Amino acid sequence: MSNIIINRKVLEQSVGKKLTLDQLKERISMMDAVLEKVNRDELEVEVFPSRPDMLSEQGFARALASFIGAKTGLRNYPVKKSGLKINIDASVKEVRPFTACAIVKGIKFDDEKITEIIQLQEKLHTTYGRNRKKAAIGVYPLEKITFPVTFKAEKPDQISFIPLEADEAMTGAQILSRHKAGREYGALLEGKAKFPIFIDAKNEILSMPPIINSQLTGRITPQTKDVFIECSGFDYDALSICLNIIVTSLAEMGGEVYSLELIYPDDKKISPDLSPRKMKLDLTYVNKRLGLSLKEKEVIGLLEKMGFGYEKGMVLIPPYRADIMHQVDLAEDIAIAYGYENFTEELPNVSTIGEEAPLEKFARKVREVLVGLELMEVKNIHLLTELELNKRMNLAAKLITLKNALGENNTLRNSVLPSLLKNLQENQHNLYPQNIFEIGRIFEWAEEAETGVGEKDNLGIVLCHDKTDFTQIRQSLDALMRSLGLEAVIRDAKHASFIPGRVGNIVIEGKKVGIIGEIHPQALTNWGITMPVVAMEMDVEGLWGLVNKK
């Protein structure tokens, strides 16, 4: 969730209609937002994470105007050609490989509008941009830039400019250690041999993303009329939507949008693309999901209330909507437009008795045992990067990568241990010992599965402190086995993530259920972990089957 402050006068001007306090409370609460506070001059609104396009006064007003029927349907934003170019150098491939850019002209900036843009930029950084990791945004006065602009990477000591809120030039490395923004976001460039920069034709550095803009070329003032905007990150489609959110908000302020030609080493793109995406409407699916019997004409009217267009069975999705990926997303917006208050409550005509799944009961018992051994449970997401799953683990496994990932974490994990090592890497500033475990889902290629991907729950344990060794992790295994009434033996094994001779397969009744050992020093170096680590990972479902058998 993210709260934004909205000027009530600006909102009413954008909507084209005055709303009473009761109307504001009722309508806002029905459209993926919550009205937190209101007074004569301002509103404080909590916007749901699914709607980053509503994080500006203009974006929120646009959504509200459609929802209350004041300005319905798809908004069109014309884009003119600027004839200018952005050169993307191959050197950024390893640090921040993509950018999406635009120019917006003819904005009458004042203190209010500057505040609005800063608020939108920072809210997008925090939410959609995942604290600048997924997307970093720069906004610059166009008159101070000479094109073409180049996006490239340089060694930190070769970068020198005066960052915002500073009065002297600093190198890239100095910015990370001495500047407030550098200290806050420096971890995003930690360990990189080169840092990304935007630099113009006169060799003036515009910014060092995702950290800070230049004091000379990166500050908007009331005298600014035209702006250059860039978004940088790891996924072009995600950056394009982020850029569209900003650009359309500026267009709502009265700006004219101009495109740029992005020259990549092996590709060319025109940015921004403000044409609507298209998705075929499955009316049967929508009605089944909502329990309604809507006709196509009725659905068109409801879609227009949510800012969509419609053309020959295709829904036209606004270029700033990041949340529409499936028919269920259209169904949700149709339900919002229909009005949740208009649905009739029904009791389901079924009678069932719920109970905890047997595997979950078993997993809960395992958790209780491990907590009793003074281990702390953690929970991680199922997505990591190929770097974390393979290279940092000294492996070269065939991984399962998402086709349309929206961020850098685009690979389903095939083991719990990389997630746990990442936890250790990110918590080296905390006290030791750090003894943690996770019971979580992993994914493997499986020809017999309908999707070709098999899923199962694994237990991972890592012990990390200066005196940990194989004996300690073996003692943890033995304690767990005793509590489950099982007996495990360790068989010699080879695994590139572990030290040779200090790793083995965990075997119970002749069945291999996991692996145990001391993590290889090279793997620890890859993760930047300075303490020794011992670990084990086991198949929870396999353990459960053996317990049931007994």
Q: Which tokens belong to 171?
A: 């190198």
pTM for this model (two decimals): 0.71
* pLDDT score at 1: 65
Distance, CA of 274 to CA of 259 (rounded, Å): 10
* Structural domains for the chain: 2-67 (3.30.56.10), 79-271 (3.50.40.10), 281-340 (3.30.56.10), 358-549 (3.30.930.10)
* pLDDT score at 472: 95
Q: Which amino acid is at 320?
A: Y
Distance, CA of 371 to CA of 513 (rounded, Å): 21
Residue 466 is given by DSSP the state: T
* pLDDT score at 45: 87
Instruction: Tell me whether residue 330 is exposed, middle or buried, using C-beta atoms within 10 angstroms of its C-beta: 0 to 12, 13 to 18, 19 or more.
Output: buried
Distance, CA of 132 to CA of 151 (rounded, Å): 17
Distance, CA of 516 to CA of 491 (rounded, Å): 10
Q: What is the DSSP string of 86-132?
A: EEE-GGGTTT--EEEEEEEE-----HHHHHHHHHHHHHHHHTTTTTT
Provide the residue-wise pLDDT of the chain in tens; the chain has 550 residues.
Answer: 688 888 888 888 888 877 777 778 778 888 878 888 888 788 888 888 889 999 988 999 999 999 988 899 999 999 999 999 999 999 999 899 999 999 999 998 888 889 889 999 999 999 999 999 999 999 999 999 999 999 999 999 999 999 998 989 999 999 999 999 999 999 999 889 999 999 999 999 999 999 999 999 988 999 999 999 999 999 999 999 999 999 999 999 999 999 999 999 999 999 999 999 999 999 999 999 999 999 999 999 999 999 999 999 999 999 999 999 999 999 999 999 999 889 988 887 877 888 888 999 999 999 999 999 999 999 999 999 999 999 999 999 999 998 777 678 889 999 999 999 999 999 999 999 999 999 999 999 988 877 888 999 999 999 999 999 999 999 999 999 999 999 999 999 999 999 999 999 999 999 999 999 999 999 999 999 999 999 999 999 999 999 988 7
Torsion, CA 519, CA 521, CA 526, CA 531, rounded to 10? 80
Distance, CA of 477 to CA of 508 (rounded, Å): 12
Packed helices 57-67 and 21-29: angle between N→C axes, nearest 10 degrees: 90
Query: Residue for token digits 């396009």?
Result: 53
* pLDDT score at 345: 85
Q: How many helices (H) and strands (E) does the chain have?
A: 16, 28
Distance, CA of 320 to CA of 60 (rounded, Å): 12
* pLDDT score at 537: 97
Packed helices 358-372 and 470-484: angle between N→C axes, nearest 10 degrees: 130
The sign of the torsion formed by the CA atoms of 273, 274, 275, 279 equals: positive
* pLDDT score at 149: 97
Query: Residue for token digits 């089957």?
Result: 545
Task: For residue 417, report the phi and psi dihedrals to the nearest 5 degrees.
Answer: -60, -40
* pLDDT score at 406: 67
What b/e sequence results for 422-438 when a residue is b if at least 16 CB atoms lie within 10 Å of its CB, and e otherwise?
bbbeeeeeeeeebbbbb
Distance, CA of 220 to CA of 289 (rounded, Å): 47
Q: Which three-class secondary structure string do you get for 288-354?
A: HHHCCCCCHHHHHHHHHHCCCEEECCEEEECCCCCCCCCHHHHHHHHHHHHCHHHCCCCCCCCCCCC
Task: For residue 192, report the phi and psi dihedrals to the nearest 5 degrees.
Answer: -85, 135
Cis peptide before 272 (omega within 30 of 0): yes
